[in-house]
Each structure stands twice: as structure tokens, then as C-alpha cells.
Structure 1
Amino acid sequence: MFGRFHLFFGIIIVIIFLLTGQYMHHKYDHLKDMELMNRALFRAGHLYILLFGLINVALGAYIKPRKHKLLNKVQSFGSVSIIIASCLVIYAFFTELPTEDIERPLTRLSLYIVFFGVTIHGLISLMKNNLENPNN
């Protein structure tokens, strides 16, 4: 259900990553004269966008419908979590930067949510053989 969506959504996020690079170049002169902490936070936020895009592309390549309905529901919950986290990290890039504070609560929340979603997908992958083929 989410496989193709993750693939195309991930490609869009990778394109957003490229556009945020242009944004930093044109709006902030590629961060040249920026204070070091803000420069590091901008670059980290920029790389988080790429990471979340690549997570979505990878999921799009791997997700397959499961025979077990519960596995499908749990997998869908993990997918929705990753999609929400991806949108949140992009929003955080534009709203939390530049900053005088190292704390970025939206970015931190997006990282926790994507960790949760990826963990769900990992557990589903480990459990699928046991639940889908109970006789083995």
C-alpha cells in the first residue's frame, strides 16, 4: 500500500534537499559568514532532509503487502510515522533556523518519530516469517 508512495515521496524529499541547498546558498551566501553553531545546525538540518528522503526511497523499494492483516496495519503505522517525521524535519529546517539556541525541539521530535517508524518496519521484517508461516 505505501511502497510506491514512499518511493515517490522519498524522491520528492531528495529534490527538496537539493532545493534547500540552493536556499542556503542564495539566502545565506552558502553560510560563509554565519556563526559556527548556526552553520553546523543548518548543515545538520539539511542532511537530515536527505537522510529522511533516502529512508523513504529505501522503504519504497522494500515494502510489500503482507498476508497477515495485523502486520499490514502495524507496517502502515510505521509508514505514517516516517511520513509525518519527514514533513516535520522539513518544516523544522525553515522554522528553527537560524537560532541562538542549540535546542531544536521539532527536529528532535522528527528524529524520535523516524526512529520509531524505522524500528516498527525492522521488527515487522523480523517477525514476518513467524507470523505468515506458523508451520515452519
Structure 2
Amino acid sequence: MTTSLSMGGTANIRAIDATNFVVAMTGVFDGGVYAKVTDATDIPDGKKHYDLRHYFVADDGSYIYTQDKSVHTPVEGTTYFAQTEYTVVEAGGKFEGLTGSFNSWGAIDYGKGVGVLRFEGQLNHQ
């Protein structure tokens, strides 16, 4: 029998440096996240493409680790519209057995090192 988990919530991002970020989460995760850029490519049209790893940890210690693709589109100045697809590579605790992908979108200000994202989607539990 397959069950699913509806994803939803927000992420408040703070940059540690150019490739490492800490995130406070609300919603399904209700905890924290560590994110690391593993590859970055600047495209001539101004967009930035990133490969990332995210380590989502809920308040009870349950976790989801993901491998991700993100596209950041310039909006104005140092502000970018960010769209990311997260693919689960490992899960534990109440998230044990979850598979699939979910998405986020929102704004990141590279100049200030802060951002806010909304995440949504559905993961399957088999």
C-alpha cells in the first residue's frame, strides 16, 4: 500500500558564505536545514544554475536528505527568483521510506544573503 505526504511550508534562508546556507523551516519540516551548493553555472542570459544538497531535519530528529537542481532568475539588483526541485536520496524517522521530489520557489537577495521560499509537492511512502 502506497501512502503519501503532502509537502508545504516556508523557508527563511541565511547565507553563511557563497556556498553554505542555514534555513529555518515551518510547515511539514518544522525544524532546520543545512544547504550546500555542489556546482554552479552562470548562464549568459543572467540566470544561475545550481546543484545543491539539502539536509532537512525536523524538531523530532526525523530527516530528509535531497539532491537538487535550482535555477535563479535575476529580478532587480541583487534579487533573484529561485526555483528548486528537491529529489529525496535518504529519509529517516517519521519520513522513513519517503521517495520522490518536491519543489520550492521564492526570492533570494544575494547582496544581503537572505531569502524566503515556499515549498510544496507530494512525496510517496511505500
Larger Rg: 1
TM-score by length of 2: 0.23
The structure that is helix-richer by fraction is: 1
TM-score by length of 1: 0.22
The structure that is strand-richer by fraction is: 2
